[in-house]
A = this chain, B = another copy of it.
C-alpha cells in the first residue's frame, strides 16, 4: 500500500486484477450478446488467461458473491458489478488534446465511446486543423481549453500531443481542473498528487514483444474470447 492509498483509507486493487477485470467484463458482455445467462468459472478465467482460483481471488477483492456452485456466474449481475467497480457507471466526458494522426485515430476508436465514456471535444493548437471535422466533431482551438472544460464539464483528458508539448499541455489541463489524464506521449509528466495519470507507452510494448521474440517462446497475452463469434 502506498502512503497515498493509506491516507485514503482504501487499498486500490492490484494492477493485474484491474487488467483481468477489463477482460472478464469484455467476455461477460460477449456472453450477454450471445444470449448466455451464466458462465462457468473455468470459461471466464480462461478468457483472461487465468485459472478459477485467480478468478475467485479477483472477485473476492470486489466484495459480494457472484457465483453458485454447479451453476456458475450470473453474466448480467457480474458484468454490472465489475462495471460499477471500474467506475464505468459514471459519466466520463473526454477531451482529446492533439488532432494529429494519433489524436484522430483515438477519436475514431470505438473503445473511446460507450461504457460511460463520451468524446466531448478534440482540440489542437494548429490553425491548419482547427475547424476540421474529426469523428463527428470539429477540432477546437487548444487556447480555449479552459473555457471548453468548464462549459462542457470535461472530466477526463487524453494527451496526444508531441513530446515537447506534453508537460505544458498537462499543466494547462490541471489548471483547467482536469484530474484524469491518459498520456500517450513517452514523457513522464509532473503533476499534483491528486491527479490520475495513466501512460500508454508504445515503445515499452515493442520492447516486451522483442523479449518474447528473443526468447523464442510463443507468448500470446490475449486468449480466445468467451463467446463464439
Contacts and interface: CB of A to CB of B under 8 A. Distances in A.
Contact of A220 (B86, B101, B197): B197
B197 A87 contact: no
A214 B216 CA distance: 40
Given A13-B211, A210-B116, A211-B13, A105 B100 contact: yes
Interface residues of A, number: 80
Majority DSSP secondary structure for residues of A touching B: mixed
B209 A198 contact: yes
Contacts of A179: 213, 218
Interface stretch (A124-132, A145-153, A181-189): A181-189
Interface stretch (A37-45, A53-61, A73-81, A221-229): A221-229
A108 interface: yes
B116 A217 contact: no
Interface string A95-117: 00000111011101111100111
A208 interface: yes
A214 B10 contact: no
Given A217-B5, A218-B194, A186 B90 contact: no
A101 B104 CA distance: 6
A26 to B, nearest CB: 8
A202 interface: yes
Contact of A102 (B92, B105, B198): B105
A142 interface: no
A217 B92 contact: no
Contacts of A217: 4-5, 8, 10, 12, 196
B197 A86 contact: no
B12 A190 contact: no
Contacts of A106: 202
Contact of A195 (B100, B197, B204, B218): B218
A156 interface: yes
A222 to B, nearest CB: 5
A176 interface: no
8 contacts: A8-B215, A12-B212, A15-B221, A86-B208, A86-B211, A110-B186, A197-B219, A197-B221
